[in-house]
Amino acid sequence: MESSNRLGQGFWNNIRQGRLTTTFTILAVISASVLAGSMLTGHVSAKQKVDSSDARQLVIPNPVTLSNGFSAIAKQVGPAVVNINTETLPKQTPAGHGRSVVPLGPRGGDQGDQDGQGDQGMQDFFNHFFGGPGGGGGQDAGPSRALGSGFIVDSRGYIITNDHVVDKADKIFVKLSTDPDDSTDPGRPATVVGVDKDTDIAVIKINVDHPLPTVTLGNSDSVQVGDWVLAIGEPFGLSETVSAGIISAKNRSIDEGGDANGVAKNEFQKFIQTDAAINPGNSGGPLVDMAGQVIGMNTAIYTQSAGSEGIGFAMPSNTIVNVYNQLIGPEHKVVRGSIGVQFQANMSSAVAHVYGFPNGGVIVSEVVPGGPAAKAGVQPQDVIVSVNGTPIKNGDALIGIVSAKQPGSTVSLGILRGGKHLTLDVGIADRSKLYDNMNNSGDQSNESGSGDVGQNKFGITVQPLSQAQQSRLHVSGGVVVTGVKPGSFGDTIGLSQGAVIVEINREPVTDEASYRAAATKLKSGEEVVFVVRNPQNPSGGNTYLGGTLP
């Protein structure tokens, strides 16, 4: 109050003392500044009326059909592309099978991108990408859902997709391109007609009361590197998405290791490579050429970011047709022929020259006991140079001819043995039955040594530890794990590929014989402890993995 009074007194004193003129001069300057600012602001906002009589209105032009034809192909094929969503109920882990220690290395099954897991090596980046089961397997966990694509090949509701899209799903739903975009409606229920895990192909069916639009399958052998293609699918659930690219390569193989019998898992998987953008959810969708024909099924990507990096893989349409025709048959399965031999997939030119087959051939590494080749007299180190007179350049050529033969038929093999040419008539067996029998009989002759009792009890395959590995780990003997079956006992206790087993239940493991002997003694319900070493950490000492044998 005192300050206010003083200000008031000062103002009236100025008036009395004749200073009023100076005071009002200052106020006038301030007011003029405010007024100038307001006028300037008014000019900047441009609120004044402008004469636009000379402006021309924009006109929407008539539609133009472009020469690339992409849109015509998308309209032609799009109606036959479907969205597939699955529901998988949680599976509770059996009691007594929990992990006792942290696994030695990365592990995981082939369940899609949402898992965030993958096998070692290339599989860390080579991902099936329909979006796999998420969440834990606990009792309170809700159902996990996943997305994928497919395409209709029969107007009665038969659809082709990837096996990994529907594998282990408890419920499968399909949405057609004409169905309402309703997130609360999962779609039409579908049933599995048949699957072929060797090629990752599945056939499913929905019930319909009217004919559905279908795609046309093309001949994948006719496509050339550099040809334009379109990928159509449901990436990230975005329906009817189309991306364009070219054929980057043909007959591309991806190394995913061996199965329980030491046989390459990808020997029937030769892909078309494309740079068309493929992302999670595209899996099972069609790869289409410029004639509007499906020449492949988008199956996988090679990525370090879980998204498209311009390297996608599609299963060729010719393979799809052959598999589909068998899956819709009475037995709903694919039957492949086999003569019962194993061989090294990649052979250097030095080996070819030393063993006398510089013009191509396949050198036999193992012969399945009791199989057709063994009965016909085929021996390890024999070189197969022809089948029924057709020259064999490599293992792919041998597999292509033999697998297409019907079990019970016979082929004539051209053999090189010790520099001499032989001809042997060899029967054809059902490949799946041949290797199932080999596995169940506990035969030890296959290449990876995985047919022993350890495969049946533990779900793992092993091979001897080399001298160099023994020296590096400072151990005398042992076996190294070469494969772990997802969901097996070995998987649940934390055994991983690359782990070195040196002891089982206090019994030293020095070689495959001692490993099999220790495994044979174990019975269901018994506590089992493995002592393992990590080759990546030679000085890390022993790790103990245990659980109750199921």
User: Rounded to an integer, what distance in angstroms lies between the CA atom of residue 143 and that of residue 126?
Assistant: 26
Which of 385, 392, 399, 160 is closest to 270 using CA atoms?
399
What's the DSSP call for residue 435?
H
- 436 classed as catalytic: no
Short-list 283, 293, 345, CA closest to 315: 283
Residues 220/315, Cβ–Cβ less than 8 Å: no
119, 144, 164, 198: the active-site residue: 164
Q: Which long-range contacts (CB under 8 A, 24 or more apart) does 249-255 make?
A: 249/225, 249/273, 250/223, 250/225, 251/396, 252/313, 254/122, 254/126, 254/300, 254/302, 254/313, 255/121, 255/122
Q: What Å distances lie between residue 320 and 159, 235, 247, 260, CA to CA? A: 12, 22, 18, 25
Active site residue 115: no
Please check whether residue 496 is in contact with residue 434, taking contact to mean a CB–CB distance below 8 angstroms: no
CA distances from 179 to 151, 152, 158, 182 (A): 15, 15, 17, 8
Between CA 435 and CA 365 the distance in angstroms is: 16
Catalytic annotation, pick one of 167, 200, 275, 491: 200
Dist. CA 191–CA 498, nearest whole Å: 39
- 200 catalytically annotated: yes
Close Cβ partners of 192 (under 8 Å, ≥ 6 residues apart) = 166, 172, 202, 203, 204
Residue whose C-alpha is closest to residue 287's, from 322, 319, 253: 319
318 touches 294 (CB < 8 A): no
- Which are the catalytic amino acids? 164, 200, 283
